Structure 1
Amino acid sequence: MKHTTPTLACMLLVGSFAVMSPVQADVPAESYGEIVGRKLLSGLGNMTTAVAEVPKNIIIVNNESNFAYAFSGGLLKGILHTVGRMGVGIADLITAPIPTYPIVHPGFVWEDFYSETTYGPAMVGQSTNH
């Protein structure tokens, strides 16, 4: 009877490791080189294609309201997001060696073209809702 409790505890411990291993193996982590490459490419991409935020926001606002408001409000919103996306691109280029999460969502202006552009936490360890 004395050997049953430690044996059971060892079996539970080994069993929990056997269950956790496949779950952790499914999510490959980005290597340092992949993070630096992603940040360099997203920085260049966001700096060069940021002007596409203007027609994107005119279309989004037009789908939500009328053309008159879309042209004025969407134009202003697109210009603000153009400046924001260019700033994020510059920041990604400068901070490429520092591992961070992507700041702008969607990552590029052409990804999910009909969704609003949002900006979130960048530092590792902060919660992301995307």
Structure 2
Amino acid sequence: MPDAPPVWQAGPVTDLYAEPVAPMLAKAAASLPEGDGWLYEPKWDGFRCIVVRPPQDRIDGGLAPVELTSRNERPFTRYFPELLQPAIDQLPPGTLVDGEIVVPGRPAGLDFDALLQRIHPAESRVRRLSQETPAVFVGFDLLALG
């Protein structure tokens, strides 16, 4: 019997930055896989986000040093200014990370309502809320590394 074709196969990447990267979305399953080698995460109550840290030559060519993009390829960068410098400091150029933007709640947990307030057209409000209810990025898939 022939081997089944691979579901995913690594191969050469010509240009990760030419097109937006879409995150892998969850799919319904009748049961969870069992056995060694499986890890599970909680459902994060946030916004799915791809953090894009372009290669240095692209930054030198005029691209922003960090872009935050929603799972629907909408820009998040302006709504979460507090996430930009940590990404610059912690991720080398040429890195893509898939994850979730969340707002920690009080006293514990996550505050989705506070997160929803962050998507606002007024820059002054975005700045104020980034101080009052700062978001954090929970990365869970490293798509490219420098």
TM-score for the superposition, normalised by structure 1? 0.24
More helix by share: 1
Which is higher, the Rg of structure 1 or of structure 2? 1
More strand by share: 2
TM-score for the superposition, normalised by structure 2? 0.22
